[in-house]
Amino acid sequence: MSTPDFSIRPAQPQDVAHIHGMILELAVFEKLEHLVVATEALLHEGLFGARPACEAIVGEENGEVVAFALYFHNFSTFLTKKGLYLEDLYVRQVHRGKGYGTRMLKRLAQIAVERGCGRFEWSVLDWNEPAIQFYKAMGADVMPDWRICRVTGDSLAALAERR
């Protein structure tokens, strides 16, 4: 039995369909598929449009895209440095347990260090205990005192109009 060849590289436009498919798989896993409005065209624009909003890396096993991580820069006023924010990391179910998630996180940490980032952050659902334990084992602090605040859709429009 041969050992699979796993490599990580920056996402390219031809990866959009693979990444989009994994976004849909992730939404099902997180029981949030009802919130997904992402399309391949919107994802392509976000990653490769005139003003990209994010970046991605993909993990390939023997040439097949089996993982992705989508990230962007944020900024810490306390550190006065940019940070790297991981929006999503996903490894296809059949490829889990091979260390690919660890390798993807390590690569993202390397990118953060290379770019002089003061932080590398992400969020995790409070019920996803396996992920929480994985992240802790990787050296992450789960911030118990912080909560994500979000304004979307009609509420966002109303806030923008508020006097």
Domain of 73: which CATH number?
3.40.630.30
**Could you tell me if residue 139 is inside a domain?**
yes
Domain of 39, in residue numbers: 6-161
Is 135 noted as a catalytic residue in this protein?
yes
What single letter denotes the amino acid at residue 143?
Answer: M
**Could you tell me if residue 124 is inside a domain?**
yes
The one catalytic residue among 85, 90, 100, 135? 135
**Could you tell me if residue 1 is inside a domain?**
no
pLDDT of 2 reads 61
Closest CA to 58 of 15, 13, 114: 15
Task: Indicate the length of the chain as a whole number.
Answer: 163
Pairing verdict, β 81-91 and 55-61: unpaired
Q: How many domains does the chain have?
A: 1
Render each residue's pLDDT in the chain as its tens digit; 163 residues: 567 899 999 999 999 999 999 999 999 999 999 999 999 999 999 999 999 999 999 999 999 999 999 999 999 999 999 999 999 999 999 999 999 999 999 999 999 999 999 999 999 989 999 999 999 999 999 998 888 898 999 999 999 999 8
Is the pTM value of this prediction over 0.85?
Answer: yes
**Could you tell me if residue 66 is inside a domain?**
yes
Closest CA to 96 of 26, 38, 24: 26
